Amino acid sequence: MSKAPNNKWWRGGVIYQIYPRSFADSNSDGVGDLPGITAKLDHVAQLGADAIWLSPIFKSPMKDFGYDVSDYCDIDPLFGTLDDFRTLVQTAHTKGLKVVIDQVLSHTSDQHPWFVESRASRDNPKADWYVWADALPDGNPPNNWLSVFGGSSWQWDTRRKQYYLHNFLASQPDLNFHNPEVVDAILGTVQFWLEMGVDGYRLDTTPFYFHDQQLRSNPPRDNTVAADPALSDANPYGWQRHIYDKERPENLGFLKQLRELLNQYPDTTMVGEIGTDDSIATMAEYTSGGDKLHMAYSFDLLGKDCSAPYLHGLMQKFADKSNGGWPSWALANHDVERVGSRWGGPERNLQMLRLAAVFQMCLRGSPCLYQGDELGLPEADVAFEDLQDPYGITMWPEFKGRDGCRTPMPWNSQAADIGFGDGQTQAWLPFTEAYRPLAVDLQDQDANSHLNFYRQLLKWRRTKPALIHGEQTLLPVHPQVMAFVREHEGQRILCAFNFSDQVASLHLSDALVPTHTLPVPGLTGGCLSAKTLAFEPFGGLLVQLL
């Protein structure tokens, strides 16, 4: 199957994440599917994205909505068939879009045949394919490791009379990557989809592949280690330093094996999800040297802190440690509160959201958008009785889970179900009335809409090679303004953003000689006077430099 052109497209390419269950329902069963995605690819192409990333579509009992895989080499019937997937890939390629799929390699479903066999006895051929451990003498689990979703990460199994490791749900047992047979089997599943014509992988939970074979307990987290910004403070998982249950040194060797496999398939890529105690440093390590991940993203931009000093600190840390590594910067995904509410606030401040979008598009790296970002969707309010996310059900009420960012995509303002399906079938999550005036059909016709702002922004970005390929140099930290220079083949652009609700100014050093400001679609609130930049609240400026 032919690929969409442009080798190394991922360096600066815009990736659009699709959560299949909630994108478009073609067969009126209440769940989005592959034919529904295929029918809506024009929306993504017109937006100006370079690739789509599909959250998991493999066979699964759906305890964690596809992140619990029971067959790595087949499509779940909820989403369609292998032929539907082939059609999607072929259609995407004809529209110039690459297709990246979500690979959940660290764990499987407990209904995967590998685990069914592994748990049957202690001496079967797959007995060591998962992480098994004896109980302590008092019957307790072997150590203090915690599940991200709450409670111990060890589950007692009466068949083997042992505990097995699960970093997420108990129905998601962790594979034992210390076993070479497991690694070979996993690489075989990756190759299956490369042969099918995919352009790359988003690797779920990348730091979790290996565990400490001595099963040492994690120490408590102290004030010198920042908490994961995407974790609720109601979750005790963040109270530990996770130095033994993930991010083990052996991970690097496996990532090199993955890269060697992908290198056999031209124009492919890998982007890893990084959630660790020092995720920026891990991003840098996992993307350095050109022999591991092509790119990675962390959750550091998926929290609520969007102050200039915080953003400057993230970018400085990555620059200091990256050794040429390539980041992918995401402001939203299917696991966190929508950026429309998280950064836009309760009033959905569009000026702030547009400033954030331009900032994301100007950073060195590959921007990753989440479906609905282009519409400025706020977080949906999902009642407890409608929750589907096991994480949210467990952590209620302090943390409501991830359903609020996963409700159906609004396509048609007049349709009963905002255009997600046929209007007659109840969707897996209730559609959100607040999305009706933000639907694609209305925004498509409004030249000043957030959707058309994004279309113009992505089109404009393609005309600025420095923003796609250029190196990035940070200006000194400023209490209000995040500023940096992008430079490529003689083109130098100063990018400056006031991430505060107060006016601000920035005086340029003698080394920076401005010539004129660059008009950016949707970016307002700044002016240049001699060597001083002045900003209105949430204002931004791009300036051409000599």
Which residues form the catalytic set?
204, 273
CA 263/CA 261 separation, integer angstroms:
5
Q: Residue 221, class by beta-carbon neighbours within 10 Å (0-12 exposed, 13-18 middle, 19+ buried)?
A: middle
Range list of β-strands (E), 185-235: 200-203
Exposure string (b/e) for 487-514, b if CB count within 10 Å is 16 or more?
A: beeeebbbbbbbbbeeebebebeeebeb
Three-state SS string across 344-376, please? CCCCCCHHHHHHHHHHHHHCCCEEEEECCHHHC
Three-state SS string across 2-27, please? CCCCCCCCCCCCCEEEECHHHCCCCC
For residue 317, give the H/E element and its range: helix 308-321
Do the beta carbons of residue 26 and residue 15 sit within 8 Å? no
Residue 33 burial (CB count, 10 A): 26
Cis check: omega of the bond before 113, within 30 degrees of 0: no
CA torsion sign for 293, 96, 74, 168 is positive
For residue 274, give the H/E element and its range: strand 269-274
Residue with tokens 């970018």: 315
Quick one: which of 407, 410, 411, 409 has its CA closest to 386? 407
Bridge partners (DSSP) listed for residue 498: 481
265 DSSP 8-state letter: S
Q: Give the list of residues 6+ apart from residue 265 with CB closer than 8 angstroms, or none.
A: 194
CA 73/CA 185 separation, integer angstroms:
11
The string of DSSP codes covering 486-509 is EEETTEEEEEEEE-SSS-EEEEPP
Using N-to-C axis directions, what is the helix angle for 180-196 and 82-94, rounded to 10°? 60
Q: Which two tokens stand for residue 156?
A: 């007692």
Quick one: which of 286, 273, 278, 275 has its CA closest to 317? 278
CA 101 to chain centre: 12
Q: Give the list of residues 6+ apart from residue 448 with CB closer than 8 angstroms, or none.
A: none
Residue with tokens 């900003």: 535
How many angstroms separate the Cα of 452 from the Cα of each of 315, 354, 443? Answer: 29, 11, 7
